[in-house]
Amino acid sequence: LQLHHSGRYRCGGRVDSELSPWVQSVLVTVTVHGVPLSGVSVSAQPPGGQVALGDCLVLSCAVAVGTGPLSFTWHRRGSGAPLGTGPHLELQHVGDNDSGQYHCRASNGDSVAESVPLNVTVL
């Protein structure tokens, strides 16, 4: 089901034979609701969030349960504004100031869920 399947429905048919009159059921209203988001997680490449100084780090956000369309924002503990949007955050040429705890926030317009923070260590 999709959200646009919400609406009013009925069925119809002949009761006894093809000679019977066509009859219809009463209208019923069907409302499709979105499923709240849960199970938001962050993974890193290289795995574990340990990256060498000057290398590239890619963080990925995944949602286990929930209906879309999904939007994502990235955050680092102690940083005010979001670092990026989308399911991936790429940090090129990481420096010492990129170490810290990162998490993603997913939203489907009806609900918002955050991942457990991932500790990024620049070696």
pTM of the model: 0.72
Domains of the chain by residue range = 38-122
pLDDT of residue 73: 95
Share of the chain above pLDDT 70, in %: 100
The CATH fold of domain 38-122 = Immunoglobulin-like (2.60.40)
* Residue the block writes with tokens 């489907």: 108
- pLDDT of 60-82, one tens digit each? 999 999 887 899 999 998 777 88
Q: Mean pLDDT throughout 6-15? A: 91
Spatial CA neighbour of 60 closest among 109, 106, 112, 123: 106
Instruction: Give the model's confidence band at 15: pLDDT under 50 very low, under 70 low, under 90 confident, else very high.
Output: confident
Q: Using one digit for the tens of pLDDT, what is the confidence trace for 93-105? A: 999 889 999 999 9
Q: State how far the alpha carbon of 106 is from the alpha carbons of 3, 50, 85, in Å.
A: 19, 24, 10
Question: How confident is the model over 33-61, as a mean pLDDT?
Answer: 91
